[in-house]
Structure formats: structure tokens, C-alpha cells
Amino acid sequence: MREGGGPVPEELARRLGTADAVVVGLSAMIGAGVFAAFAPAAAAAGPWLLVSLALAAVVAYCNATSSARLAALYPESGGTYVYGRRRLGPLWGYLAGWGFTVGKTASCAAMALTFGSYALPGLERPLAIVAVAVLTVLNLFGVQRSAGVARIIVAFVLAVLVVVIVVGLTGDDSVTFGWFAYAPGTGRAPGSYPFDVWGVMQGGGLLFFAFAGYARIATLGEEVRDPARTIPRAVGIALAVTLVVYALVAVAALRTLHPELLARSGAPLADLVREAGAGWLAPVVRAGAAVAALGALLALLLGVSRTVLAMARERDLPGVLAAVGPVRQVPRRAELAVGVAVVVLLVVADLREAIGFSSFGVLVYYAIANACAFTLRRDEGAPPRAVPVLGLALCLLLAATLPLASVVAGLAVFAVGLAIYAVRHR
């Protein structure tokens, strides 16, 4: 019997090592950031995109450190939903789980649409639905096979990004001046871009969408071998690799494209290689973007389904979703439910709106994670106090500076979640 008198929940199999966990995190972050978040972030921050990237990286570091310490102490599926219940109480755990589930379901839709728009423009929605269906079926065959597919995806995408970075840093830079690119003939010289604090913070909030993939590692805590050692190491490696890649891509993009073109672009890296005089690489870049989006979608579906499993175990979601398959030991019903929810959202989803909405939900999720980490004692592996304090403050600040539509939609969704909680726990 578990605490509270209920039956002991069925456990998932621990099959993932450090390399597998790193790959799962990389597949979520690399695909989301480079091919989806840079354009809206550039629209907010302009040529100060690198400052926004640094801000997002600081927030991600704080959140990753807090999450890794908590995941090592509580190696269960569910991430901050579990930590919130343990450290702050059931309501805070529920809010974290609700924000993550709803926000990351929107992320799944955004990644599916990114795949469709790069792979077959004009038929992106039907193709996105097919992608969600195929990857949901793949996840039903077990997390180890999913991690194996993610490994292939990450290798291919990183190879494409290395080519893009080399081309962007060595190609034609006649339209640039220093790091701050501008369009000849528009009168927009570097000095005409004043430092915009609000824009930089908004850009940081949008770019945080790109870093949030390391949450997949924590939410898979019940399927990782030696979690106290594996999870912190995997989170640190995945975050460091992603930051280096993002920084190099951002420098290459600002060197080759002016801020206005980067902000308007529906395919920034394809435009980058064309502007650099290597237009023949554009189809390769589009293929890399499509594959990266598939990798991110695969990891997102895994992470959301594990949070749904954890919430169903505590009856914050219907208990029928807590079932674990006896043969492959995967939460089949939770995975199917998430897949269906994403398909429904794809009918009405808009890519850029989905990114802002997802960022709001996930920033709230990590604000609660930092609050949980602040309660840890030294013998429980507490991080330095400044880390969760800074992480909590920056999460709330970036959430507040997101586009108004994203903030309003996020607050409305959390209000709905609170109403559901009140009804279920009367």
C-alpha cells in the first residue's frame, strides 16, 4: 500500500543510461530552439538577441540545477508535479503539473506544425497529424526504442547545424556591420537600435521555450538507471551542448541576416544559407529542421505522458490514465491521451502563439520547481540558496514580459485548472 492507503502504483522499467538521457534532452531542446524560437525572439529583441539568449541561459541554468537536485531526491515520473506535492503541498504540485501538461501539449502542436511547414508547406497540418500519430505509436513500443530513434535524429541535426554555422560565419557578410546586421538602403544602422530592456526580457522568455527540453530528463526519472548520479549529469551535459550550439547559430544569423529579416523569416536557417551564398544547402537545412522538429516532438510526447501518468496516480487526472502496460512497461493510456489531445489542438493551433503560451506555462512550472528546491536541506542535496531564489524571480519576470496574448491565455488556462481542482477535491 502507498501513503494514503491506496494501492502501490505500477512502476516503469529503469532502462535509460546517461547517454540515453542526454539524447532525450538534446532532441527536445535542439529542435525547438533553432528552428522555432529564434524568429519571434528576434522580433522582440532585435540585434540584442544574444543578450536575450544569455538571459534565457541563466534562467535555464538555475532551473536545471534546482530540477536536477530534486529529481535525484525524487526519481519518479512527473517532475515538478511530484516535487511540488512533496515539498509545498498538493495544490502547488497540481499547478505545476497542469502548467506543464497544457503548456507542453501546445509545444507538441508547435513542433508538429514546424515539421509540417518545413517538410511539405501547404499541407503542414495533415502532415503534423500524421507525425503525432506515428510517434505516439513508436512510444507505445517502449522508451528505450524512442531514445534510440532520438539518438539518430540528434546526430543528423547537429551535423546540419555545424554546416549552417560554418557557412554563416564564413560566407558573404556584406550586409553586416559587426555583430549587428542591418539592411542596406533601409537607413537602419547599428546605432539606430537602442537597447530595449523590455524587448530583451521578452526575447529571453521566448527563447526559454528552446531550453526547456531538459525537463524531459527529469520527467523520465522513473525510467533512468542510478537517477541520483545520472539525472544531474545528463541535465548539465545537455544544457551545455545546447547553449554552445544556440550561441553559434545566433552569431551566424546576426552576421548574415539583419534583425528585420530574421524576425520575419518562417525558415531562418534556410534564409541564412541563401544569404550567405550557399542556396544549394537550403533543402538540406529544411530536411534538418523537419527532422529536428520530429526529435523534439518525440521527446515532448514522452515527457507530457509521464506527467499525465503521475497526475493520474494521485487522481488529479482520471485514474484510468495511470495504467502501465505489463509487457513493455509504458503508460499506454497516458500516451494515447496525449496524442489525441495534440491532434485536437493541431486543428486550431498557430505556431508563434503556441510558443508564447507554452513558455508561460513552463516558466510557471519552473518557478514552482525553484520554490521546491529552496526548501531542500543540505543533507538532501540543496543547491546554493542564490540559485533557486534567482531562478524563481527570473521565471516570474520573464513570464510577465511575454506577449500580452500569451500572458492572458496562460492566466485563463490556470484559472480553468484551479476550477477543475476545486471540483475534484470538494
Cα-based torsion angle of the residue sequence 425, 392, 306, 5 in order, rounded to the nearest 10 degrees:
-40
- Residue 335: pLDDT band (50, 70, 90) is confident
Predicted confidence at residue 218, as pLDDT, reads: 62
Q: Of 204-213, 266-275, 311-320, 322-331, where does mean pLDDT reach its minimum?
A: 322-331
Distance, CA of 112 to CA of 267 (rounded, Å): 15
Residue 344 within any structural domain of the chain = yes
Q: What is the C-alpha end-to-end distance of the chain, expressed in Å?
A: 24
Q: What is the mean pLDDT of residues 295-320?
A: 81
Decide which of 95 and 29 is more confident.
95
Q: Of 34-43, 65-74, 182-191, where does mean pLDDT reach its minimum?
A: 182-191
Domain containing residue 293: CATH number: 1.20.1740.10
Res 119 pLDDT > 80: yes
Predicted confidence at residue 31, as pLDDT, reads: 63
Decide which of 215 and 71 is more confident.
71
Question: Residue 254 has which C-alpha cell?
Answer: 546576426
Range of the domain at 317: 18-424
- Per-residue model confidence as pLDDT tens digits over 123-180: 888 999 999 998 888 777 765 555 666 678 778 888 888 998 999 888 655 444 344 4
- Residue 395: pLDDT band (50, 70, 90) is very high
Number of domains in the chain: 1
Among 342, 376, 288, 370, CA closest to 27: 288
Decide which of 334 and 393 is more confident.
393
Predicted confidence at residue 142, as pLDDT, reads: 60
Q: Whole-number mean pLDDT of the chain?
A: 80
Predicted confidence at residue 351, as pLDDT, reads: 65
User: H or E element: which one contains 180?
Assistant: strand 180-181
Predicted confidence at residue 176, as pLDDT, reads: 42
User: What percent of the chain shows pLDDT beyond 70?
Assistant: 81
pTM above 0.75, yes or no: yes
User: H or E element: which one contains 92?
Assistant: helix 90-119
Residue 2 within any structural domain of the chain = no
Res 328 pLDDT > 70: no
Give the position of cell 540543496.
Answer: 382
Residue 5 within any structural domain of the chain = no
Res 373 pLDDT > 70: yes
Res 368 pLDDT > 90: yes
Residue 325 within any structural domain of the chain = yes
Helices 124-140 and 282-313 sit at what angle, rounded to 10 degrees? 50
Instruction: Write the burial class of residue 110 (CB in 10 Å: 0-12 exposed, 13-18 middle, 19+ buried).
Output: buried
Predicted confidence at residue 181, as pLDDT, reads: 42
Decide which of 331 and 395 is more confident.
395
Q: What is the mean pLDDT of residues 214-241?
A: 72
Predicted confidence at residue 77, as pLDDT, reads: 66
Residue 280 within any structural domain of the chain = yes
Cα-based torsion angle of the residue sequence 129, 39, 211, 351 in order, rounded to the nearest 10 degrees:
-20
Res 13 pLDDT > 70: no
Distance, CA of 214 to CA of 27 (rounded, Å): 9
Residue 71 within any structural domain of the chain = yes
Residue 11 within any structural domain of the chain = no
Distance, CA of 247 to CA of 307 (rounded, Å): 31
Q: Of 150-159, 319-328, 364-373, 382-391, where does mean pLDDT reach its minimum?
A: 319-328
Predicted confidence at residue 72, as pLDDT, reads: 79
- Residue 33: pLDDT band (50, 70, 90) is low
Q: What is the mean pLDDT of residues 174-195?
A: 46
Residue 276 within any structural domain of the chain = yes
Predicted confidence at residue 117, as pLDDT, reads: 79
